[in-house]
Amino acid sequence: MTLADLIAQARTALDTAIAARQQEQDALMALRSDENLTEETVAARVATRDAADAEVTRRQEALEALEREQVREDELAALQARTVPAATRAPAYDQVARVGREERTYRPDQDRRGAAFQFDVRAAFLGDYDAQARLARHMQEERAERGQQIRSVGTGAFAGLVIPQYLTDMYAPLARANRPFADACRKHTLPPTGMTVEISRITTGSSVDNQSAENAAVAEQDMDDTALSVPVRTAAGQQTASRQSIERGAGVEDVILDDLFRAYGSRLDNTILNVATVGLTNVATAVAYTDASPSVGELYPKVIEGLSGVEGALLDQASGDNLAVMHSRRWYWMQNAMGTSYPLITQPGVVAQTLGANYAEAYGRGVRGILPNGTPVIVDNNIATNLGAGTNEDEIYLVDRQECHLWEDPDAPVYIRAEQAKAANLGVLMVVYGYYAFTFQRQPHARKIAGTGLVTPTFTGV
């Protein structure tokens, strides 16, 4: 990760902190309009606002520190470019590529797709001396800027990752759903051996009753347990690349690994949501929402019904750390609703006149917002959208985060790079794999909202 990437992340974090602080300020102003408010209530809200304000300051200072570091790095790079080692004789004037003071032969602002470069490659092959001279000058410029990092042409599927180098940073990775829900689950370290995780579940508990009379026998019930066997699964993928593409391309191996790692995360997350028998969709108790004209106002009571079921199943084992997990299309549909009604019971951190709050976080960055009763929302596009008789429904899952268990190896996924296996073909085999286990049945509790009310949404403001 480069300094530029860190600066971009810091700016995003600062924008998020500013938005959160503004939300707290809006909530404070709404509270002050209440004639029945107490000083304690206002003080608590002011403290929350001040905490958000402090977070803005912290994020701002972090961004400014990174920007100062970037300025210094740029100064050093410029200084290094002007420095000539004493033991090296300076080249002749006409042998120097003065990048920064002379225009580049191929410039991204004038030829973003590299058409001029490709034309010169073809022309040089056919004997065009002017094209050959331009290509030679381009190579001098590349050596002056990147030195030993420069690579020559690549081949095959990676033709978009070869010279001119300014195009390689613009490669478009395959978009994937990745693992938003898996990242929100309760994490455990996978045991070092074995292909099954065994958990004891108490299925028959003790008995306590009122004593019928003095010296009479008190109630007794033998406790009993049932083993919950959780299988350890293996997610893996491979890619074979030619040695030519790796050795003479630019960043090809990094592109392959990035795609494999994100594919691994998507498969793991998809499995814990959708796999047969033990996936969340198959263990959750359904809360039916059947409606030919669904609306957000009608859906929300189903959410409360589902959360009531979660707590009713867990009883004193409920942590209160609940989550609502939904597809992005459902989250945006819930945000499109307009109306004058709002809950009669206010919730901490939610302005009374609104139906929840959007935190404006990017996809896969954790909690996206909260529902009217304060339940955090995780948006995950591994949730199926082809469910139901019309194959156009999705589902909303309601769970206690502390009972969504995920075991992973701390080093997963593991990367294997094998050259000998494909040596006769001049290929390099890259394999990514990892072991994991999961369960939602240690304390069965999950609920899912499902039915015709969750067909493909239409954004009509209701």
Top pLDDT among 19 and 384 is at 384
- Which pLDDT band holds residue 405 (cuts at 50, 70, 90)? very high
Top pLDDT among 353 and 311 is at 311
Spatial CB neighbours of 167, under 8 Å, sequence gap ≥ 6 = 108, 113, 114, 160
87 forms bridges with which residues in the sheet? Answer: none
pLDDT for 86 beyond 50: no
Model pLDDT, residue 153: 38
Please state whether the predicted TM-score (pTM) of the whole model is above 0.75.
no
Domain boundaries, the chain: 3-27+46-82, 176-204+224-462
Model pLDDT, residue 453: 96
Model pLDDT, residue 83: 54
Residue 165: closest CA among 119, 132, 117: 117
Give me the torsion for CA of 164, 165, 170, 175, rounded to 10°: 100
Model pLDDT, residue 193: 92
Model pLDDT, residue 93: 43
pLDDT for 418 beyond 80: yes
323 forms bridges with which residues in the sheet? Answer: 399
* Mean pLDDT lowest among 48-62, 226-240, 286-300, 316-330: 48-62
Model pLDDT, residue 159: 46
Q: What is the pLDDT of residues 51-66, one digit of tens each?
A: 988 998 998 998 888 8
Top pLDDT among 381 and 342 is at 381
Q: What is the mean pLDDT of residues 332-344?
A: 77
CATH architecture group of domain 176-204+224-462: Alpha-Beta Complex (3.90)
Spatial CB neighbours of 186, under 8 Å, sequence gap ≥ 6 = 401, 402, 403, 404, 405, 406
What percent of the chain lies above the pLDDT cut of 70?
82
The average confidence (pLDDT) of the chain is 84
Model pLDDT, residue 151: 43
* Mean pLDDT lowest among 16-20, 49-53, 148-152, 315-319: 148-152
- Which pLDDT band holds residue 232 (cuts at 50, 70, 90)? very high
Model pLDDT, residue 152: 39
